[in-house]
Amino acid sequence: MYSSLDSFLSLIFFFTILSLTHSSTEYLKLPLIPRTTLSNVSNILAADLHRISGLRTLPQSPLTSGAAMGSGQYFADLRIGSPPQRLLLVADTGSDLVWVKCSACRNCSTKRPGSAFLPRHSRSFSSYHCYDSPCRFVPQPTPTHCNNRTKLHTPCRYEYSYADGSTTTGFFSKETTTFNTSSNKQGKIKNLAFGCGFKTSGPSVTGSSFNGAQGVMGLGRGPISFTSQLGRKFGNTFSYCLLDYTLSPAPKSYLTIGASSNDVISRKLFSYTPFATNPLSPSFYYITIQSVSVDGIRLPINTSVWGIDDNGNGGTVLDSGTTISFLAEPAYRQVLAAFRRRVKLPAAEGATALGFDLCVNVSGITRPRLPKLRFFLAGKSVLSPPAGNYFIEPADGVKCLAVQAVRPGSGFSVIGNLMQQGYLFEFDLHRSRIGFSRHGCAVR
Ligand SMILES: *[C@@H]1O[C@H](CO)[C@@H](O)[C@H](O)[C@H]1NC(C)=O
Ligand SMILES: *[C@@H]1O[C@H](CO)[C@@H](O)[C@H](O)[C@H]1NC(C)=O
Ligand SMILES: *[C@@H]1O[C@H](CO)[C@@H](O)[C@H](O)[C@H]1NC(C)=O
Ligand SMILES: *[C@@H]1O[C@H](CO)[C@@H](O)[C@H](O)[C@H]1NC(C)=O
Ligand SMILES: *[C@@H]1O[C@H](CO)[C@@H](O)[C@H](O)[C@H]1NC(C)=O
Ligand SMILES: *[C@@H]1O[C@H](CO)[C@@H](O)[C@H](O)[C@H]1NC(C)=O
């Protein structure tokens, strides 16, 4: 059912490229801007737990996100409208809808620019009609009044909810977007379908946890996500490198759409793992962990711990919106026990109050030896991250294992953005697989 919906949509979301001739070597390149104000580790953990706890109630509709905004550390810079208006969106691989806060303001020259999208200031904006086919793919507020006979312009209303009850409602619309390409040319793409949100509510999308964002760029696996819509024109592939945002100055991270990575680095340097599928959560990018090792010793974790059950619980999601990583509880307990056995550093006093189970005191030690964590994935690939990807430094001289437990039957394991740092991740939607490489971030 899902694939037929997808192919149907590929007919509807027909993109016209105005000034960009797509060649196989050209791709779209969007800067990902790290958010720095959540540097307090307790706040990051709280935001991540908020996102993860929302996952207990799986979404009923495939078009409702299963996630609340976590500590989602990366913003994408989107330009929409004619002339282009610049907006900062939370880049989220855990949801599908692209939406921005909209303001109906007519003459906003005195208003602070960039706080909302102003459709009245754009020549290319239009809302879908309620009887337009794309309208069927966004959740509608009830009751819907769509009368085709009267032919009155009834716009397509949408109401999109996140797992914690946060919602955005408004008009499902289309706009022209402006991008830079890999060869620094400017490209425009017509008819990006997005939610023009006139009302937002809930903790995820308002206030400090939204951190000044003007919307969300859903990069999920579903058909209306930014990457699915644009990917149709660019080989159904997107990739990103998340670089360490705690460095100063923070290195530039990019989201690229349509990059064929062999233009940049050799395919041989990539490891691939196939997507797993959860029909009850089609937005997420699931991968399959088969086993875990600590300092080269494979842990005796029952493989059923990693599976997706009939209720859609379990499995492992690659998520940009969560900072730390989460493992199903029986696996987490064994990983933690193995770390405790292998780590030869003194415990950091009082540090467990921060919410982590293992914190070590590394003050005065120039090169502390931390145990080596490896994930063995389906497709015979191995994710072997550096220790900095799974130890977080909440205070000078203190390092905590940035992994937490997820209770069985209450969600899934998560490879968060910290664990992904320094890797080029390529989401190959066409071949249903994820490629990753430690080589390739430098050249992007
Ligand atoms: C982190 O910030 C919160 C408030 O935002 C504060 O209550 C807490 O004490 C801070 N924690 C640390 C370790 O600085
Ligand atoms: C609209 O803004 C311009 C300044 O850009 C100002 O001169 C004009 O009076 C404004 N019009 C209204 C109706 O507020
Ligand atoms: C409504 O009318 C439009 C154009 O008149 C047509 O393309 C569309 O299929 C109709 N939709 C429904 C649900 O009848
Ligand atoms: C494109 O790149 C130029 C030069 O780096 C920059 O000034 C401009 O803002 C970029 N445009 C977009 C749409 O990102
Ligand atoms: C693994 O877990 C499954 C389901 O809980 C159980 O049926 C099976 O016996 C377990 N296997 C081992 C080797 O413990
Ligand atoms: C870490 O160890 C140093 C001495 O080596 C000590 O002064 C400091 O209080 C310790 N810090 C914590 C958080 O345990």
Residues 6+ apart with CB under 8 A from 335: 292, 294, 299, 327, 373, 403
Q: How far is the CA of 354 from the centre of ligand 1 (A)?
A: 10
Would you call 6 a catalytic residue per the annotation? no
Q: Closest residue (by CA) to atom 9 of ligand 2?
A: 107
> Could you tell me if the CB of 352 is within 6 A of ligand 1?
no
* 207/283 same-domain check: no
Cβ atoms of 421 and 389 within 8 Å: the answer is yes
Out of 257, 273, 301, a domain closes at 257
Q: Is 443 domain-assigned? A: no
Are 129 and 113 within 8 A, CB to CB? no
Residue 218 CA, ligand 1 centroid: distance in Å: 29
Residue 27: helix, strand or coil by DSSP? coil
Ligand 5 atom with minimal separation from the 303 CA:
1
Atom of ligand 3 nearest to the CA of 146: 13
Distance from C-alpha of 285 to C-alpha of 116, rounded to nearest angstrom: 30
Choice among 96, 164, 319, 428 that is catalytic:
319
Do residues 111 and 71 share a domain?
yes
Residues with Cβ within 8 Å of 421's Cβ and at least 6 positions away in sequence, in order, are 242, 243, 244, 385, 388, 389
Residue nearest to atom 4 of ligand 2 (CA): 109
Q: What is the pLDDT of residue 374?
A: 98
d(C-alpha 173, C-alpha 397), whole Å: 50
Mutate to test the pocket of ligand 5, among 301, 302, 308 (most ligand atoms within 8 A of CB): 302
- Judge if 369 and 417 occupy the same domain: yes
Out of 227, 257, 287, a domain closes at 257
Q: Which atom of ligand 6 is nearest to the CA of 398?
A: 13
CATH number for the domain that contains residue 60: 2.40.70.10
Residues 240 and 269 in one domain: no
Does the beta carbon of 154 lie inside 6 Å of ligand 4? Answer: no
Task: Report yes or no on 202 lying in a domain.
Answer: yes
- Tell whether ligand 2 has an atom less than 6 A from the beta carbon of residue 107: yes
252 and 281 belong to one structural domain: no
Q: What is the distance between the alpha carbons of residues 150 and 12, in angstroms, rounded to a whole number?
A: 24
Atom of ligand 1 nearest to the CA of 40: 1
Per-residue tokens: 164: 């914690």
Report the alpha-carbon distance of residue 196 to residue 185 in Å, rounded.
28
Q: Relative to the alpha carbon of 176, which ligand is closest?
A: 4
Answer whether residue 427 is part of any domain: yes
Regarding the beta carbon of 148 and ligand 3, being less than 6 Å apart is answered: yes
Does some domain include residue 102? yes
pLDDT in tens, the chain (444 residues): 333 334 334 433 444 443 444 445 678 888 887 765 445 777 777 777 777 665 544 443 333 444 555 555 688 889 999 999 999 888 888 888 999 999 988 877 655 656 899 999 999 999 999 888 899 888 888 766 676 666 667 889 999 887 677 889 999 999 999 988 878 888 899 999 999 999 988 877 776 667 778 999 999 998 899 999 988 878 889 999 887 766 667 677 788 888 655 555 677 789 999 999 988 888 889 999 999 999 999 999 999 999 998 888 889 999 887 888 999 999 999 999 999 999 999 999 887 777 889 999 999 998 999 999 999 999 999 999 999 999 988 888 999 999 999 877 677 899 988 899 989 999 999 999 999 999 877 654
274 shares its domain with 250: no
Top mutation candidate among 109, 111, 118, 120 for ligand 2, by most atoms within 8 Å of CB: 109
> Buried b vs exposed e over 349-386: b needs ≥16 C-beta within 10 Å?
eebeebbbebbbbbeeeeebebbbbbbbbbeebebebe
In a domain, 113, yes or no: yes
Distance between Cα 180 and ligand 4 center (Å): 6
Expressed as residue numbers, the domain containing 179 is 4-257
pLDDT of residue 35: 67
In short, whether 304's Cβ falls inside 6 Å of ligand 5 is: yes
Q: How far is CA 76 from each of CA 32, 93, 314, rounded to the nearest angstrom?
A: 5, 12, 29
Count Cβ atoms below 10 Å from residue 3 Cβ, excluding itself. 8
Instruction: Tell me: do 297 and 153 sit in the same domain.
Output: no
Q: Which residues contact 211 (CB under 8 A, 6 or more apart)?
A: 35, 37, 38
For ligand 4, what atom is nearest to the CA of residue 179?
Answer: 13
206 and 278 in a single domain? The answer is no
Same domain, 177 and 288: no
Q: In the chain, what's the furthest Cα-to-Cα distance?
A: 77
Of the candidates 223, 258, 92, the residue with the CA atom closest to the CA atom of residue 162: 92
> Would you call 217 exposed, middle or buried from its count of C-beta atoms within 10 A (0-12, 13-18, 19+)?
buried
pLDDT for 45: 77
Q: How far is CA 341 from CA 293, 327, 344, 358, in A?
A: 13, 19, 8, 11
Quick count: other Cβ atoms within 10 Å of Cβ 427?
23
Q: According to the model, what pLDDT value does residue 66 have?
A: 43
Ligand 1 pocket test target in 42, 45, 398 with most atoms within 8 Å of CB: 42
Report the separation in Å between the CA atom of 168 and the middle of ligand 3, taken as the mean of its atom positions: 26
Separation of alpha carbons 225 and 326, rounded Å: 25
197/326 same-domain check: no
Ligand nearest to the CA of 106: 2
Ligand nearest to the CA of 177: 4
State both tokens at 131.
């009887």
Say whether both 357 and 293 belong to one domain. Answer: yes
In a domain, 444, yes or no: no
Ligand 2 atom closest to the CA of 107, numbered from 1: 1
| Cβ atoms within 10 Å, residue 106 | 8
Please tell me the number of the ligand nearest to residue 314's CA: 5
Asked if 298 and 282 sit in the same domain, the reply is yes
**DSSP reduced 3-state for 428:** strand
What is d(CA 203, CA 163) in angstroms, rounded to the nearest whole number? 11
- Tell me if residue 132 is catalytic: no
Residue at which a domain ends, from 257, 279, 307: 257
Contact 390, 375 (CB under 8 A): no
DSSP state of 69: -
- Is residue 217 a contact partner of residue 192, using CB atoms and an 8 Å limit? no
Q: Tell me if 223 is assigned to some domain.
A: yes
Instruction: State the distance from the centre of ligand 3 to the C-alpha of 148, rounded, in angstroms.
Output: 6
What is the tally of structural domains in the chain? 2
| Residue 442 in domain | no
| Ligand 1 within 6 A of CB of 43 | yes
Active site residue: 92, 96, 164, 428, which one? 92
Instruction: Report the 3 state secondary structure along 144-196.
Output: CCCCCCCCCCCECEEEEECCCCCEEEEEEEEEEEEEEECCCCEEEEEEEEEEE
Look at ligand 4, atom 13, and give the residue with the nearest C-alpha.
179
